[in-house]
């Protein structure tokens, strides 16, 4: 999924403080947060200005996989995609964090 890094995140990841568009894998650490996000998507699905419009279209076209994974399975999945996608959006929504995949995996195993 495409995602816009904030100026602080862009500065942290080498874009000199300018907002930057990156690809990210969305990861929820709690099922409650995923369910809340799904409810949000349902409520905003007809909003043409929703930043998640592309995600909603991809979900309808069955191009989005929702997987419940163990820590080991998540580690394997992220490593498999790390050469094409550099970032994870952790608990997407108003409180989301963005990390490079390798940083997230380090945090996960710490």
Domains of the chain: which residue ranges?
2-109
| CA–CA dist 95, 30 (Å, integer) | 13
pLDDT score of 51: 76
Q: How far is CA 109 from the centre of its chain?
A: 19
| CA–CA dist 73, 36 (Å, integer) | 23
Q: What is the pLDDT of residues 20-44, one digit of tens each?
A: 778 889 999 888 888 888 888 888 8
| CA–CA dist 110, 105 (Å, integer) | 9
pLDDT score of 95: 80
pTM, rounded to two decimals: 0.77
Q: What is the pLDDT of residues 48-83, one digit of tens each?
A: 888 788 888 888 898 888 888 998 999 999 999 989
Which one of 3.30.530, 3.40.1350, 2.30.29, 3.30.450 gives the CATH number of domain 2-109? 3.40.1350
């Amino acid at each position: 999924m495409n995602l816009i890094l904030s100026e602080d995140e862009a500065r942290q990841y080498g874009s000199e403080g300018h907002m930057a568009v990156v690809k990210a894998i969305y990861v929820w650490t709690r099922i409650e947060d995923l369910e809340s996000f799904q409810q949000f998507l349902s409520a905003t699905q007809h909003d043409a200005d929703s930043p998640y419009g592309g995600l909603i279209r991809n979900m309808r076209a069955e191009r989005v996989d929702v997987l419940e994974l163990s820590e080991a399975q998540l580690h394997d999945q992220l490593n498999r995609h790390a050469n094409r996608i550099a970032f994870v959006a952790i608990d997407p929504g108003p409180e989301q964090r963005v990390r490079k995949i390798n940083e997230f995996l380090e945090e996960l195993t710490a």
